[in-house]
Amino acid sequence: MKILVIDDDSAVRKFITLNLKTENHTVFEAENGLEGLRILQEERDIAVIITDLIMPEKEGIATIIEVRKINPSVKIMAISGGGKVGPENYLVLADALGANATLKKPFSGQELLMSLKLLA
């Protein structure tokens, strides 16, 4: 499965990517929503997008809204460690705006893979 990981924290991106590659997924990485949307335009057969919500350039909520316009069938998992208001508020908003799943940071590799299996 082709998966796009969008997160401004390179350590989080690497953690997610390594876990996905152990399951033989093809992984693309972006450090913000703008870069993620560019990759999505180039790689039309991406099946899942895992996106952080709080990022510079283009944050996750705007990215989710844009992805839904470009490719309504792609599955989206929103991840967040929160900000000033805590991750739950952002994740509820992401869910309301079209995310198929949400995952609160920090999470384990096992939690990530279980959430991904529920999307498939």
In this prediction, residue 84 carries a pLDDT of 64
Residue 40 is part of which domain span?
2-119
Cα gap 66→59, rounded to integer Å: 11
How many other CB atoms sit within 10 Å of the CB of residue 90? Answer: 24
Cα gap 109→48, rounded to integer Å: 16
Number of domains in the chain: 1
User: What CATH number does residue 83 fall under?
Assistant: 3.40.50.2300
pLDDT digits over 28-82, tens only? 999 999 999 999 999 989 999 999 999 998 999 999 999 999 999 999 999 998 7
How many other CB atoms sit within 10 Å of the CB of residue 11? Answer: 8
Instruction: Decide: residue 76, CB within 10 A, 0-12 exposed, 13-18 middle, 19+ buried.
Output: buried
Query: What distances in angstroms separate CA 104 from CA 8, 24, 34, 91, one per listed residue?
Result: 16, 24, 22, 8
In this prediction, residue 86 carries a pLDDT of 65
pLDDT digits over 74-114, tens only? 999 999 987 666 667 889 999 999 999 999 999 999 999 99
In this prediction, residue 90 carries a pLDDT of 87
Query: What distances in angstroms separate CA 75 from CA 11, 45, 86, 88, 95, one per listed residue?
Result: 23, 11, 24, 20, 12
Model pTM above 0.85: yes
